[in-house]
Structure 1
Amino acid sequence: MGSLNSSPLDVGGLAVALIDGLAFPEAPRWRADRLWYSDIFGGRVGHVGLDGSPATVLELDDHPSGLGWLPDGDLIVVSMQRRLLLRVDADGRTNVHADLTPHITWPANDLLVLPDGVAYVGHFGFDRQHGTTPRAPASLLCVEPDGTVRTAASDLEFPNGMATRQGPEGEPSVLVVAESGAGRITEFDIGPGG
């Protein structure tokens, strides 16, 4: 693994790098005044503060991808090849939050967690890395706060990148999904329980 280098943020109105030395940064999230990220090919999850101080939170023997937090503050991380959602508590203990393998064959990818702890996970739907399978539709999985998994939507083309739109009370009411394989954005109403 390469070393992480960073420098204090003094931008004077210009964009500057907070951190370098990452192999393939993905899933940027802003939380508690720190930029969190997955380094997919570096096999780690970390964060960096505006003062340039980096920290590694988790190292995996897999590719980490999507990041999110449960209502109790525990971090959840997609383990792509193993097709698991990992839960990391405040003490750094890691456990399986949800096993996605009964629902998907190819790597899991991005993740979005709602304020109530319901999570949505996308996946490739085909062997993107080796190109040994034809492109196929993928599903979007819904993971309940207790780790129960179900299919929320199907026939998507590589769901990768999600956000929500708010309803009249400020609650997440529409799930917006980027279908990277189709070059389109698809929206779904969020019903009770996700």
Structure 2
Amino acid sequence: MRPAKLILATAIALAGFAGSAQATGPTLIRVDIAGQSQTFELKSSEPGVSRYEVIAQKWTQDGVTPTREILAYPPHFTVQPGESQAIKVLARVPHAKTEGTYRLFVRAVEGGSLSFSVPVFILSTDKAAAPVITVHRDGGSLVVTNSGDKTELIAATRSAAGDKNAMLYVLPHSTGKLDAAADVTSVVSRDRREYKVQ
């Protein structure tokens, strides 16, 4: 079985999270064939023994729901101080034209306080799949619609005063909202694609 395709396969720095545990592995997982798997590693620097759980969820613009379309193994495990645990992610969904979107939630249930999530994307069967973004204003918010088959990550808003950091995943065939000042004229994706406010 070939490994899943990854992007951003760098260490996850968890300085912004409570606790002193550390995770190394992908910050985002892309799987290009159903049935493939990918492994990432969680290393704990907690002073004592810590127990963790990993929960897979289907991810839509409205939130997350339980799923069996991807699995994480082991779903429960114990990590000794200074030791690591490998976590395998397995996709169990057939090919589809629209990218599949999921999240893995990792949290300590005993002896630690680590909590984070990792987006998981099952790639479209269409290699040319792309986000198709439109943006319009609704009061103090920008409404961002993605009618394409691939997720887009909005990373900044742009105005005459310059770019300001933003963070909004707009999943395929979904709409999200982003707070923005009145002078914002466009948004910019993680890959520096610019979308004008209509």
TM-score (norm 2): 0.31
Name the structure with the higher strand share. Answer: 2
- Greater Rg, structure 1 or structure 2? 2
Instruction: Give the number of the structure with larger relative contact order, counting CA–CA contacts within 8 Å between residues 6 or more apart.
Output: 2
